[in-house]
Amino acid sequence: MRFTIYQESRVGRRRTNQDRVAYSYTRDALLLVLADGMGGHLYGEVAAQISVQFITQSFQQEARPKVVDPVLFLSRVLSNAHHAILDYAFDKHLSDIPRTTIVACLIQDGVAHWAHAGDSRLYLLRKQRIQAQTRDHSRVQLMLDQGLLDAQAAATHPGRNRIFSCLGGNHPPQIEFSRGTPLVNGDVIAICSDGVWGPLEGHRIAQVLSDGKVMESVPRLMDEAEEKGGAQCDNLTLIAVTWHDEQQDDTPDTVSTRTMPEDANNTRMEGFGRSKREPDDLSDDEIERAIREINAAIHKFK
């Protein structure tokens, strides 16, 4: 495989960052995953951390050098991540179960498969156009589908952040799966939280990212989203990958996996507790305890 990849997450104007993002690749498979946590102090980011960490670690264990069945893999790991969140809430005696959106994309054999729950989005960009896009599991999207709102009204609707499917919470997630989509040279897959797509229209995201130079265009798009988000700017996270044919020449930013051993993987995932915090937030001891509890919840479903 040959690709260029870049991810970035910012706290925006919030106290903490409840978004989580990661990627991991082997010689023959690439995983992208993003979660946007919801819940009270700490617990939204715990749900997001459990989800991203569980899915990424499962990929590391099973992709040798690729998973047996991409759709079954995504179905199983998203379901198990959901149950790991429930188990964490049960052990902590939480009355309000933490929740998180999720988008996970697995690429192998040149074909992309993705699954999502909630309103974090995946865009497949081809030749400066949106070739495919996830459908938000939100109240506003339902109203758009029913003709009760237009796009302009949806952008400012007070219920635009209400979602009906997520990992965690009191109801089983309604996970939506894509068809396998073959990638062509220059395709860009971008996954982002609502802190990015909320202030920006889809065509603007496509316009900026479609040049394929994700190392430069992702920070530029994040700057634009953060500026337009203003004083109410949410956490914002974006991961984008440009797919390259094997025949193309390598550039300094290109990842080529052809020489990787079959059992090797390369992963980038930020750890819990590293996001910007206020001085009166969690202590180091509280963060360490949260990390142990997260790992314990994940371990039960491995």
Banded model confidence at residue 152, pLDDT cuts 50, 70, 90 = low
Q: DSSP assignment of 206-260, as one string?
A: HHHHTTS-HHHHHHHHHHHHHHHHGGGPPPEEEEEEEEE-TTSPP-TT-EE-TTS
pLDDT at 279: 47
Q: For position 272, what pLDDT does the model report?
A: 74
Using the predicted structure, report yes or no on whether residue 141 has a pLDDT greater than 80: no
Compute CA distances 71 → 77, 122, 302, whole Å: 10, 16, 18
Indicate the average pLDDT of the chain. 90
**Residues 215-225 pLDDT 10s:** 999 999 999 99
Read off the pTM: 0.93
Residue 20: what pLDDT? 96
Q: How far apart are CA 130 and CA 125, in angstroms?
A: 5
Residue 288: its pLDDT value, please? 87
Q: Is the pLDDT of residue 264 over 80?
A: yes
What structural domains does the chain harbor? 2-299 (3.60.40.10)
Give the model's pLDDT for residue 273: 63
